[in-house]
Amino acid sequence: MGRRRFLGWAVAALLGIWSRSATPAEGPRTGREQEVKLAYLYNLARFTRWPSGDPPEGGAFRFGVWGDDPFGPLWDELIGRTVHGRPVEVVRVRTAREARGCQVVFLAGATVPSVGRMLEALDGWEILTVSDQPGFVDRGGMVGFIRQGEKIRFEVNLDRALAAGLRISAEVLRLAVRVLGQGGAGRGSLP
Amino acid sequence: MARFRDLPLGRKVGLAVVAASTISLALAVGLFAWREVRSYRDHASDRLRTLAEVVAANCAAPLLFDDSDAAARTLASLSSQPQVRAAWLLGRNGEVFAGYGRAGRPPPRAAREDGVWWAQRSLVVGRTVSFEGEALGRIVIQVDTGDLHARLWWGLGVAGGVMGVAVLVAWLVSIPLRRRISGPIQELAAAMARVASSGDYSVRIPEGGQDEVGTLIRGFNRMLAQIAERDDKLARLAAAVDQAVEGIAVTDPEGRVLYGNRAFRKMCGADEPLEGVSLFALYPPDEPRVQELREAAERGQVWSGRIRAQRADGATYHEECALSPVTGEGGEVRNLVVVKRDVTREVEFESRLAQNQRLEALGTLAGGVAHDFNNILTPILGYADMALQGVEPGSRLERNLKRVVRAAERARGIVQQILAFSRQGEEGRTPLRLGALLEETEALLRASIPKHVRLEVRSEAPSDWVVGDATQLQQVLMNLATNAWHAMEPDGGTLEMALEEHWVSAGDPELPTGRYLRIRVSDDGCGMPPEVRDRIFEPFFTTKEVGKGTGLGLAAVHGIVQAHGGTVRVESEPGKGTTFQVYLPAREGSESGPSKEPRRKAPPRGRGERVLVVDDELEVADFLSQTLEALGYDVEAVVSPAEARTRLEKNAGGYDLLLTDQTMPDCTGLALARWAHGVRPDLPVVLCTGYSAAVTPRALAEAGVAVVLPKPISPSQLAVEVRRVLGDGA
């Protein structure tokens, strides 16, 4: 499965969401929502720079999922892909220690205190932390997916990212609903 | 509207100048406009590409994160570029993701690929939006090019104005140019028309500058001079040919005349132009050499020779004709050239010359024969006469001997005529007046010619002196006159004798140039055919019955006249009479110069004295009596001595003179004279003898013979001697 094909899938998925947003609909939209979130996760990794270009573990770029994995088989879509020229690997992590071997960690479905602990454990590490827990960024997470109408948007805690040595692209920051830190640059700073 | 090629040169030059300036200006304007558009486009394209690139870079994230609002905000930043009319951000499948400006319309189809295009007075740029090499969609930006069009229109307007002014200026500038170029050419054309209409090649055009027109004018002037020169040359040649003495004609290969010069036309005797007449129709049909001429013409060969030709009126003449072909480069006969000369006179003179030479040869021969024959006759007569003295009178022997003598005398008469014909010597020549001789002859002729022959004698020469032998010349006139009246027998007619002056000019083959006296003797008698005419001067040629003529008369005339340095010509045609013309060289200056010879005058005439003529030959008796009667004597003629004796016995005193022949059958003239002397001693006797060897002066004196006349007797001599014997009586 080529990269192009995946992108086609990703964009089609996004557009599908956009078009559906025109029509008010009820009910859980888990499958579709997870697809969008996974695409965002992947794109966020691409728009983010890590201070140490070459990770010590070898060539792979690791996505880690902590907690109740919401994506399941959708991860397969990332297999064979690269981020910053490094092949993608997906690992399920249970401990912070496991998580420290990843570049991106998605914190899913856990309780707020466990997430807080996990964030504390990862503090200072060059790991982009992403979650769809509400208020994630306010508790020290870096990127948090939020639902805004029909669309999935995200918030960024720029201070945390910078503290971890990560540089998130200004373009992504421009798209963020809210950006914490750095004088509130971006859209997020607007009241 | 007239076609361009028919326009006057000046107009053409003007149009060419205007067209050239218009085209060059249009090219310049076009180039300017094209450059403007190009630079605008290049410039605008660069700008547009940059713009698109910037926008595309900013649109990758909105696409990836499905944020059309953000995309719209990005596109809205294009408002800083006022010429941007519209912008579209298209998704992966070409659907509009976000728009700006007049983006309500669908984006131009041209923008499906990357690049810059013109569309609807605008430029459109399309660019793929990609992230990390992956195409996410497209950005399409359309910008207004109104400023370009405005600038173009303004530029075109200015260029149009400049062009209009430039064309006007070009037209104005072309006016003197046109005058400089077309002026001399118009002058040239006018001069050519003048030359063509008048044929005057002396026209010259003032020379212009050193340009092509100047060269043309100089060339034209030079050409005119050459034509004039050639014209002159041709005219000279044409005049020379036309006025040549020779007849010259040019014909086509079939012999039809294309040109005939003056002499040619004159020779042909044609009043009308000869063009188109066949060359071969100018000859009589019976001329055999025409066929030769025709064959030569057909084969393209040269032919020359003498040929008998025919004039338009049918008269024929002789010509010397040369026919030669004129061949072309390929050897084919293009024309025939005929050069001819009338040689009728030459032919005539040549034939006369030939005749004269023949007669001269005959004369020499006859003269030689006659001389020898005369020498033979002398002993015959001498011994016969001596024998007569010793024979018995009245015997048969005497009669026979007398016949011998008579025959010998007749033979001697013939010999003398032959000698006259072949006479070459000049003894006995004296200056004499031909007119006087003619008068004498007239007097003698009047006595002898029949009444029905009218004699007309004219003398029209102011100076009639010649050098000659009077007796011989009288014989010439008598012979010609006698022939003439014989030719008019028996019907009679007019015998005309005329003395004229005649100038022989150069070119006469017979006579040297100079003044001549011409005696014309013409009759209106029976005439002669040409074959007779050509032979009349030959000795022994006669048309008279045998015995009536010796055939020596005209031969003697010819011989005598030739010996005098003259010539005899004859014109005659059957039924139209005959004219003899005797030419004798006139003696210059004799009238004033002294002359010992008494002028000859009319023969002394008789005054009715009675003369008894005795001759046994009737013709001689007749001749003598007629001659004497014509001179005014009373004549009795008898044909025998016996009759004479009878007459004298009867009337011895009735006669004043006895004229007797010596040789007669019964009795010699001397015997008769002796007898008469006995009867009447004072009767003067004239003895005519052909041979006087036997007649001694003593015997003559005894017989009372006053004078001896040698035969043949010329009438004038007779007249003079008779008169002298009878006493001048003046």
Closest partner CB to B67 (pick from A46, A169, A175): A175
Q: Choosing among A151, A174, A179, which should be mutated to test the B contact, i.e. which has the most B CBs within 10 A? A: A174
Contact A15 B66 (CB under 8 A): yes
User: Assign residue B507 a region: left if phi > 0, alpha if psi is -120 to 50, beta otherwise?
Assistant: left
* pLDDT of the residue at B601: 57
Residue B164 lies in a domain: no
Same domain, B469 and B516: yes
CATH number of the domain bearing residue B511: 3.30.565.10
* pLDDT of the residue at B489: 79
**Residue numbers of A between 157 and 186 with CB closer than 8 Å to B:** 169, 171-172, 174-175
The predicted model gives A114-140 an average pLDDT of 88
Asked whether residue B519 carries a pLDDT value surpassing 90, the answer given is yes
CA distance B98 to B56: 12
Q: What are phi and psi of B390, to 5 degrees?
A: -100, 0
Buried b or exposed e, range B328-348, using 16+ CB within 10 angstroms: eeeeebebbebbbbbbeebbe
Chain B residues touching residue A40 (CB < 8 angstroms): 65
Residue B192 lies in a domain: no
> Between the CA of residue B257 and those of B245, B254, B280, what are the distances in Å?
19, 9, 10
Residue A41 lies in a domain: yes
* pLDDT of the residue at B602: 66
Task: Say whether residue B669 is in contact with chain A using an 8 A CB cutoff.
Answer: no
Q: Which element (helix H / strand E) includes B493? A: strand B493-504
Domain boundary among B367, B388, B421: B421
Q: How confident is the model at residue B66 (pLDDT cuts 50, 70, 90)?
A: confident
Residue A153 lies in a domain: yes
* pLDDT of the residue at A100: 87
CA distance A159 to A163: 6
Residue B615 lies in a domain: yes
Residue A146, domain extent: 3-182
Q: How confident is the model at residue A55 (pLDDT cuts 50, 70, 90)?
A: low
Closest partner CB to B61 (pick from A4, A17, A175): A175
Contact B68 A18 (CB under 8 A): yes
Same domain, B581 and B656: no
CA distance B474 to B436: 10
**Residue numbers of A between 80 and 139 with CB closer than 8 Å to B:** none
Q: Residue B378 CB: number of other CB atoms within 10 A?
A: 14
Same domain, B572 and B502: yes
CA distance B148 to B33: 10
Residue B484 lies in a domain: yes
Helix (H, G, I), strand (E, B), or coil: what is residue B465? strand
B258-279, pLDDT tens digit by residue?
988 888 888 888 777 778 888 8
- Give the closest-approach CA distance of B51 to chain A in angstroms: 17
Residue B44 lies in a domain: yes
Q: How confident is the model at residue B248 (pLDDT cuts 50, 70, 90)?
A: very high
Close Cβ partners of A183 (under 8 Å, ≥ 6 residues apart): A189
Q: How confident is the model at residue B521 (pLDDT cuts 50, 70, 90)?
A: very high
Q: Report residue B150 as tokens.
A: 């405005």
Residue A189 lies in a domain: no
* pLDDT of the residue at B517: 92
Q: Comparing B2-6, B224-228, B653-657, which segment has the lowest mean pLDDT?
A: B2-6
DSSP assignment of B382-446: HHHHHHHHHSPTTSHHHHHHHHHHHHHHHHHHHHHHHHHHT----TT-EEEEHHHHHHHHHHHHH
Same domain, B361 and B338: no
Structural domain total, chain A: 1
- Give the closest-approach CA distance of B59 to chain A in angstroms: 9
Share of chain B above pLDDT 70, in %: 94
Closest partner CB to B58 (pick from A8, A46, A171): A171
Residue B309 lies in a domain: yes
Domain boundary among B383, B402, B421: B421
The vertex-B445 CA angle with B409 and B573, nearest 5°, equals: 95
How far, in whole angstroms, is CA B212 from its chain's centroid?
Answer: 50
Contact B131 A46 (CB under 8 A): yes
Residue A187 lies in a domain: no
- Give the closest-approach CA distance of B67 to chain A in angstroms: 7
Structural domain total, chain B: 5
Mean of the per-residue pLDDT values of chain B: 83
Contact A8 B67 (CB under 8 A): no
Q: Which element (helix H / strand E) includes B366? A: helix B344-390
Place of tokens 């022959």: B453
Chain A residues touching residue B92 (CB < 8 angstroms): 7-8, 11-12
Residue in chain A nearest B58 by alpha carbon: A171
* pLDDT of the residue at B653: 83
- Pick from B140, B58, B127: which is nearest to B100 by CA? B140
Residue B219 lies in a domain: no
CA distance A56 to A53: 10
* pLDDT of the residue at A4: 52
- Give the closest-approach CA distance of B66 to chain A in angstroms: 6
Same domain, B628 and B690: yes
CATH number of the domain bearing residue B620: 3.40.50.2300
How far, in whole angstroms, is CA B321 from its chain's centroid?
Answer: 11
The vertex-B286 CA angle with B283 and B287, nearest 5°, equals: 55
**Residue numbers of B between 115 and 144 with CB closer than 8 Å to A:** 131-132, 134, 136
- Give the closest-approach CA distance of B25 to chain A in angstroms: 55
The predicted model gives B237-262 an average pLDDT of 89
Contact A11 B92 (CB under 8 A): yes
Same domain, B457 and B315: no
Q: Comparing B52-61, B443-452, B639-648, which segment has the lowest mean pLDDT?
A: B443-452
Residue B406, domain extent: 353-421
CATH number of the domain bearing residue B69: 3.30.450.20
Same domain, B23 and B142: yes
Q: How confident is the model at residue A17 (pLDDT cuts 50, 70, 90)?
A: very low
B417-438, pLDDT tens digit by residue?
777 766 655 566 788 888 888 9
- Give the single-character DSSP code of B631: T
Residue B272 lies in a domain: yes
Q: Comparing A14-23, B186-195, B579-588, B612-621, which segment has the lowest mean pLDDT?
A: A14-23
Chain A residues touching residue B134 (CB < 8 angstroms): 3-4, 7
- Identify whether B712 is preceded by a cis peptide bond (ω within 30 of 0): yes
Domain boundary among B421, B453, B471: B421
**Residue numbers of B between 45 and 104 with CB closer than 8 Å to A:** 58, 60-68, 70, 91-92, 95
Same domain, B572 and B702: no
Q: Comparing A8-22, B506-520, B585-599, which segment has the lowest mean pLDDT?
A: A8-22
Same domain, B249 and B280: yes
CATH number of the domain bearing residue A27: 3.40.50
The predicted model gives B705-711 an average pLDDT of 79
CA distance B423 to B562: 9
CA distance B724 to B707: 10
Same domain, B560 and B671: no
Same domain, B620 and B480: no
